Amino acid sequence: MFFVRSATDRDLAAISTLLSETAHATYDDTYGADKVAEMTAKWHAVPVLKANLARKNSEFVVADDGKRIGGMAYAAMSPTLHETAVLHQLYVLPAYQRQGLARDLFAELETCFPYAGHMRVEVVSDNAPAIAFYAAHGFTEIGPGSDAWGMPTVEMEKVLDDAR
């Protein structure tokens, strides 16, 4: 059984590996292993994760069963959008997907931003399972997102006031 807890420095290497494995499983067929490796080297390296862990007005959580980390999530208050938390990462290892880990991680993050009225997330447009997950958890599409790394995204938002 997995429990959601705050991430620590000791978790960062395992989280980096989890992010790389999950990104490759999700995007290699669409974007190629080389592009995914380049992306994960930039966004999922331990120093980047360490900076996220130290960021003010953020939450970094993991799903841990005492032997391994099966999922992770990271969100932070937006510096530019009033009363909006931004969900930057929500990843679950492929072996543990569809077992409620993403739901549990997200539920924890939802409670961590008492002054946020909204939560936003950008999802790669062709990641239908992720879009369906967010829609099932109250997010609606509000427009196109960025096109980072040639991966077009859709921006989704959830009103948090109604969830409390």
* CATH class (in words) of the domain with range 3-163: alpha beta
- Average pLDDT of the chain? 92
Higher pLDDT, 10 or 164: 10
pLDDT of residue 163: 45
pLDDT of residue 151: 77
Asked if residues 81 and 119 have their Cβ atoms less than 8 Å apart, the reply is no
pLDDT of residue 149: 66
pLDDT of residue 70: 97
pLDDT tens by residue, 112-143 = 999 899 999 999 888 899 999 999 999 999 98
Q: Which residues contact 52 (CB under 8 A, 6 or more apart)?
A: 58, 60, 74, 76, 88
Structure tokens at 106: 């997200």
Q: Sorting pLDDT into bands at 50, 70 and 90, what band is 164?
A: very low
pLDDT tens by residue, 37-85 = 998 999 899 999 999 999 999 999 999 999 999 999 999 999 998 899 9
Residue from 110, 100, 35 nearest 63 by CA: 100
The 3-state secondary structure of the chain, one letter per residue = CCEEEECCHHHHHHHHHHHHHHHHHHHHHHHCHHHHHHHHHHHCCHHHHHHHHHCCCEEEEEEECCCCEEEEEEEEECCCCCCEEEEEEEEECHHHCCCCHHHHHHHHHHCCCCCCCEEEEEEECCCHHHHHHHHHCCCEEEEECCCHHHCCEEEEEEECHHHC
pLDDT of residue 145: 79
Asked if residues 7 and 72 have their Cβ atoms less than 8 Å apart, the reply is yes
pLDDT of residue 162 exceeding 70, the answer is no
Domain spans of the chain?
A: 3-163
